[in-house]
């Protein structure tokens, strides 16, 4: 009886050892170079398209690693993301890791690493000037994520993640309705569409007695609408208002805006007044 128990323990150990040995090891250093990296300089940069200050949970972002100078190329790279962590009350020495979302590539310019989780690496060692990957931001409540890149410019010569090769971005915790929706650049109209807009005036003395302006020049602006191509934009998120738009906002006078739109007549299709 005693003997069989000993044998059982032995098998168990052998099995554990095998499992560990089969685990692939994750080495994120490009080409597994064993020499120390070059000191950081600003030759390469990792950039999140649109330079967002914060990320919106579960939105996809394009992340680009590129050479800032015309004559620098790289042959190998690693792009990955590191998650944030929160304090662990049960074991303060082991913070609880949050999620970092997903980093992946859909073109043949790189491969999704088999050994390292959530990591994109080069598919070949031809010199390149840039590579684009996708980052799917994690769900709500995952705080900040650090996106980073390691770059090899030739065999044995590489940069560690540092300076412009690292971007930390935190969650945008504004409500969804307060956020600019993503722009649809691929809007191909192939059928007639009809829209009906109704403007209902709810700003009345009885509905808003406390804030209703007594000054008669405070009023609703005149209504103006135009159908235009996507080359024209009335305003840009984060940009400055045109003079006409400023006048419309401050005085409710549409004359300026109408003029501005009419000047771009090739982009303009129809009026609604
Ligand atoms: C890089 O090349 C582009 C076009 O080839 C040129 O316009 C630009 O000035 C160059 N930049 C530098 C830093 O040499
Ligand atoms: C990456 O995206 C940029 C534009 O954001 C584009 O100019 C460049 O050609 C892309 N690079 C590759 C390798 O597809
Ligand atoms: C009413 O508003 C206009 C424009 O903002 C301003 O010029 C004017 O002085 C105001 N009148 C009164 C009585 O507050
Ligand atoms: C709007 O502005 C234009 C030009 O500044 C002016 O001629 C017009 O009278 C204004 N309209 C109203 C309703 O104030």
> What is the best residue among 70, 71, 72, 73 to mutate for testing ligand 1's pocket, by most ligand atoms within 8 Å of CB?
70
Closest listed residue to residue 82, CA positions, set 164, 153, 152, 138: 138
Model pLDDT, residue 219: 72
**Confidence band of 259 (pLDDT split at 50, 70, 90):** confident
Considering the domain architecture, whether residues 74 and 206 belong to the same structural domain is answered as no
Considering the domain architecture, whether residues 157 and 39 belong to the same structural domain is answered as yes
Given 144, 178, 212, which residue is the final one in a domain? 178
> What is the best residue among 64, 106, 185 to mutate for testing ligand 2's pocket, by most ligand atoms within 8 Å of CB?
64
Q: Whose CA is nearest to atom 12 of ligand 3?
A: 215
70 in ligand 1 pocket by Cβ < 6 Å? yes
Considering the domain architecture, whether residues 77 and 111 belong to the same structural domain is answered as yes
Considering the domain architecture, whether residues 119 and 209 belong to the same structural domain is answered as no
Considering the domain architecture, whether residues 119 and 46 belong to the same structural domain is answered as yes
Model pLDDT, residue 16: 44
Considering the domain architecture, whether residues 41 and 68 belong to the same structural domain is answered as yes
Domain region containing 236 = 196-273
Mean pLDDT for 130-140 is 96
| Other CB atoms within 10 A of residue 236 CB | 9
pTM, two decimals, is: 0.61
Considering the domain architecture, whether residues 63 and 34 belong to the same structural domain is answered as yes
CA–centroid distance, 215 to ligand 3, in Å, is 6
State the Cα–Cα distance between residues 108 and 131, nearest whole angstrom: 10
Considering the domain architecture, whether residues 111 and 237 belong to the same structural domain is answered as no
215 in ligand 1 pocket by Cβ < 6 Å? no
Mean pLDDT for 45-73 is 93
Q: How many domains does the chain have?
A: 2
Considering the domain architecture, whether residues 51 and 165 belong to the same structural domain is answered as yes
Model pLDDT, residue 81: 96
Summarised one tens digit per residue, pLDDT across range 76-102 is 999 999 999 999 999 999 999 999 999
Q: Which ligand is nearest to the CA of 215?
A: 3
- In a domain? residue 228: yes
Considering the domain architecture, whether residues 35 and 112 belong to the same structural domain is answered as yes
């Amino acid at each position: 009886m005693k003997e069989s128990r000993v044998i059982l323990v032995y098998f168990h150990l052998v099995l554990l050892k095998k499992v560990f040995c089969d685990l692939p090891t994750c080495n994120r250093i490009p080409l597994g170079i064993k020499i120390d990296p070059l000191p950081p300089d600003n030759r390469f940069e990792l950039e999140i398209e649109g330079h967002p200050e914060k990320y919106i949970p579960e939105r996809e972002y394009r992340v680009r690693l590129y050479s800032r100078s015309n004559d620098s190329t790289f042959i190998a790279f690693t792009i990955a993301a590191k998650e944030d962590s929160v304090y662990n009350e049960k074991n303060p020495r082991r913070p609880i890791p949050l999620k970092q979302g997903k980093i992946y590539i859909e073109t043949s310019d790189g491969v999704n690493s088999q050994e390292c989780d959530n990591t994109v690496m080069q598919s070949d060692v031809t010199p390149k000037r840039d590579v684009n990957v996708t980052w799917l931001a994690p769900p709500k409540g995952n705080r900040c994520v650090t996106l980073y890149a390691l770059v090899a410019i030739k065999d044995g010569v590489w940069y560690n993640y540092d300076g412009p090769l690292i971007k930390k971005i935190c969650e945008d915790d504004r409500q969804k309705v307060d956020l600019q929706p993503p722009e649809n650049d691929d809007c191909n109209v192939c059928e007639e569409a009809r829209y009906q807009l109704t403007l209902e005036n709810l700003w009345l003395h009885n509905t808003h007695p406390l804030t209703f302006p007594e000054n008669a020049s405070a009023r609703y602006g005149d209504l103006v609408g135009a159908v235009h191509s996507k080359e024209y934009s009335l305003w840009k998120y984060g940009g400055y208002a045109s003079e006409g738009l400023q006048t419309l906002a401050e005085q409710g006078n549409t004359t300026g805006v109408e003029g501005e739109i009419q000047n771009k007549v090739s982009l303009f299709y129809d009026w609604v007044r």
